[in-house]
Structure 1
Amino acid sequence: MIDTLPPAEIGKFISAKHAMQEVRAGMKLGLGTGSTAAWLVKLLAHAQNNHGLMFQACATSTQTTNLATSLGIEIQSLDALGALDLAIDGADEFDPNLDLIKGGGGALLQEKIVESNAKRLVIITDASKQVDHLGAFPLPIEVTKFGWISTQRQVEEALKSLGLAVRTTWRGGPTQPFVTDEGNHILDIYAEKIIAPRALSDAMLNIPGVVETGLFIDMASTIIMGDADGTARFREGTGGWSEKSYDLAAEADLIAALLEMDA
Structure 2
Amino acid sequence: MDQNELKALVGQEAVKYIQDGMIVGLGTGSTVRYMVDALGKRVQEEGLKIVGVTTSNRTTAQAEGLGITIKDLDDVDHIDLCIDGADEIDTDFNGIKGGGGALLWEKIVNNASTKRMWIVDESKMVPRIGNFGVPVEVIPFGAQHVFNYFEKQGYHPKWRMTDGEKYRTDEHNLIIDLKVGEIVDPKALAEDLIHTVGVVEHGLFLNRVDTVIVGRQNGPEVLQVK
Same fold (TM over 0.5): yes
Instruction: Give runs of aligned pairs for residues 130-145 of structure 1, distance below 5 A.
Output: 130-145=125-140
User: Map of 1:111-190 to 2, 5 A cutoff?
Assistant: 111-157=106-152, 160=153, 165-172=154-161, 176-190=165-179
Contact 1:8 1:227 in 2 (8 A): no
| AA matched with 2:168 | V
Greater Rg over alpha carbons, structure: 1
Relative to the length of structure 1, the TM-score reads 0.83
**What do residues 60-103 of structure 1 show as CA deviations (whole Å, max 9, x unaligned)?**
00010011111111211001012100000000000011110000
Query: Where do residues 221-260 of structure 1 align in structure 2 (5 Å cutoff)?
Result: 221-229=210-218, 231-238=219-226
Q: In the alignment, what sits opposite 1:98?
A: 93
Contact 2:158 2:178 in 1 (8 A): yes
Number of residue pairs matched by the alignment:
226
* TM-score, normalised via structure 2 length: 0.96
> 1:72 is matched with which residue: 39, 63, 67?
67
Question: What letter corresponds to residue 124 of structure 1 in structure 2?
Answer: I
CA contact (8 A) 1:172 1:178 kept: yes
**Given that residues 220 and 237 in structure 1 are in contact (C-alpha distance below 8 angstroms), is that contact kept between their aligned partners in structure 2?**
yes
Take 1:219 and 1:154, find their aligned partners in 2: how far apart are those partners?
A: 27
* Contact persistence 1:56–1:75 (CA under 8 A): yes
Report the RMSD for the aligned CA atoms in angstroms. 1.5
Unaligned runs of 5+ in 1: 1-5, 239-263
Matched to 1:203, the amino acid is: D
Quote the offset at 1:228 in angstroms.
4.4
Identity of aligned residues (%): 37
| CA drift at 1:208 | 1.2
Unaligned runs of 5+ in 2: none
User: Which residue of 1 is the match for residue 183 of structure 2?
Assistant: 194
1:93-140 deviation line (CA, Å, top 9, x unaligned) = 000111100000000000000111001110000110011111010110
Q: Which residue of 2 aligns with 1:55?
A: 50
